[in-house]
Chain A
Amino acid sequence: MEYIIEAAGLVKKYNGKTAVDAINFTVRQQECFGLLGPNGAGKTSTVKMIHCFFLPTAGRLSVLGMDVRTHSRAIKRQLGVVPQENNLDPDLGVLENLLVYAGFFGITRSSALNRAGELLEFFDLSGYERERVETLSGGMKRRLTIARALINSPNILILDEPTTGLDPQARHLVWQRLRHLKEQGVTILLTTHYMDEAAQWCDRLVIMDEGRILEEGKPQELVLKHVGKEVLEIGLGNEPAGVVLDHVSGMICGHLIIGDTLYLYSAGGQAVLQALQHFPGRFTHRLLRYATLEDVFLKLTGRGLTADGKTVAGYFPPGLEGAPASPGCLSKDLESKHVP
């Protein structure tokens, strides 16, 4: 079994409305695979087909070499699921939540007790065994939900926005734990809106929008391909974007406008910054920084992000949109060491 999850032409429709539109992707053993995309992109719908919550409307989907249509029970035995919405049982205490859940996997009471103790320790929840779930904070509930997903020592861990609502410490704790699990051979499928998290932890990821996969690849490769090395952020104030773009034409390999901020993509941001020293107008701010996965995300899915409903202008030199970036962004002189 080369791929631990394999989707081909996967479709999900809700009453005829398409949420997942014939997507293809594969996940390898021990990989951390990310599903990114704006709200409503179809991430949760995809994830729910993988953990056999509902059947695909069309297409092929196999998990651990088994067809989700025929082997849901056997598949679910080996999965751990952290749903987007917590669904801990408020009628039960913290420990009881884990024990009852273990029961559904046929785990004996005594081994469930051991495992639950370990997991509570692992997620920094020991001491709360007897607490009612209601009395936990949001972040603690999230950690308990992740702990619950691990009660059956799953081969694949499915995490739908696992770190939403966690404080920075808790996020780091969770990621340390997840890395530990990955080292032990667990495959992780993750959705998240934190781009830094995705860039740091995902071996590969896909960016989805409106039910389709827009891009797939390793985070760093995607950044280089779509944005390049550096991004210069310009607070336009009253300056028209077109004039600024004319001023730096030939020096950039793409740009994006969101609200009144202009993002200039380039291989050498310092030069662009210098060129703009002589620009006659005034900007509210300028910031030169490394390109990140967030830039890729905004570029690919940026439509409709402005608060005032204005469409985001995403103009790229001909041939750049959707295709590999112009050579300027990938040239070797990228090693700019100083980023102001």
Chain B
Amino acid sequence: MSLNFIEPLLYLSALGLGLGAYVQPIEGMPYLGYLAPGLIASSAMFATSYECTYGTFIRMDFQKTFHAIIATPASIDDVIMGEVLFGTFKSLLYGSTILLVVFGLKLVSSPWVLLIPVVLALSGLFFAVLAMTWTGLVPNINSFNYFFSLIITPLFLFSGVFFPLTGMPALMQQVAWFSPLYHVVKLTRGLAAGDAVWLLAGDFIWLLAATVILLPAPLFLLRRLTIK
């Protein structure tokens, strides 16, 4: 798990320093400063996604922890919401840790970064719900590889973490609007830059709406899986 902390820092040093030496400032930011908020968003996404696929599945299927808990006054919906909140917490924990490191390195400085944990909480909520929907649809430990290679990795690569999408074909730019991570990165980067933050309201609303719409799915799927 601590690997999740190290990975974004490896990206930050390898790409930020290595590649950054050849890259001109993007959107007025030196490459390291541009990359850092993106990695805050993506590392939070990974942490939550691991927790709510492998973690949730192991607790549910191998350890029968869900079964144990619902013999108490807690209901299955309580347990599922508990998993969602745990996933959200992972996002906050990992994202904020990277944020602290990045802040310590003076890569971000705007006072608006204090709002980044709020973004991490909402994005954590969304990715927890997304990952648990997958877990409910394909409850099989081998299926989680597909979740990462078909969904999480493409999001990681094409949501503007490493480079602005303005250089990509127009279609890609339009498709990016459907990527939740794209909106999270816009939020973290916008807050890190600290200007015209009200323009970010749309991204926040996008994430909020997507979370609300998707939330019934894991509740329904995992309820049905546990209680046959």
Contact = CB atoms under 8 A, between A and B. Distances in A.
Interface of A: 14-15, 51, 53-54, 72-73, 76-77, 79, 81, 83, 85, 87-91, 101, 104-106, 152
B67 A87 contact: yes
Contacts of B227: 53-54
Contacts of A76: 71-73
Interface in B164-180: none
Contact of A104 (B63, B67, B72, B228): B72
Contacts of B228: 14-15, 54
Nearest to A54: B227
Nearest to B65: A89
A101 B68 contact: yes
| Chain B interface, >50% SS class | loop
Interface of B: 63-65, 67-75, 227-228
Q: Which 7 A-B pairs have the closest CB atoms?
A: A104-B72, A87-B64, A81-B71, A87-B68, A54-B227, A73-B73, A77-B73
A89 B71 contact: no
Given A14-B228, A72-B75, A73-B75, A53 B70 contact: yes
Contact of A53 (B63, B67, B74): B67
B63 A101 contact: no
A104 B64 contact: no
B63 A89 contact: yes
Given A53-B227, A54-B228, A88 B68 contact: yes
B222 to A, nearest CB: 14
B63 A87 contact: yes
Given A54-B227, A54-B228, A83 B71 contact: yes
A215 to B, nearest CB: 29
A296 B228 CA distance: 33
Nearest to B71: A81
Contacts of A14: 228
6 contacts: A76-B72, A87-B63, A89-B63, A90-B63, A91-B63, A101-B72
Nearest to B78: A104
A79 B65 CA distance: 18
A15 to B, nearest CB: 8
A90 B64 CA distance: 10
A53 B72 CA distance: 10
A14 B228 CA distance: 7
Contacts of A88: 68
A106 B73 CA distance: 9
A105 B72 contact: yes
A56 to B, nearest CB: 12
Contact of A51 (B63, B71, B74, B75): B71
A72 B228 CA distance: 17
Contacts of B73: 73, 76-77, 104-106
A83 B72 CA distance: 12
Contacts of A81: 71
Contacts of A87: 63-65, 67-68
Nearest to B70: A53
A42 to B, nearest CB: 14
Nearest to A73: B73
Contacts of A104: 69, 72-74
Contacts of A15: 228
A292 to B, nearest CB: 33
Contacts of A53: 67, 70-71, 227
B165 to A, nearest CB: 41
Nearest to A86: B64
Contacts of B63: 87, 89-91
A101 B68 CA distance: 9
A227 to B, nearest CB: 37
A83 B65 contact: no
A77 B70 CA distance: 11
B132 to A, nearest CB: 19
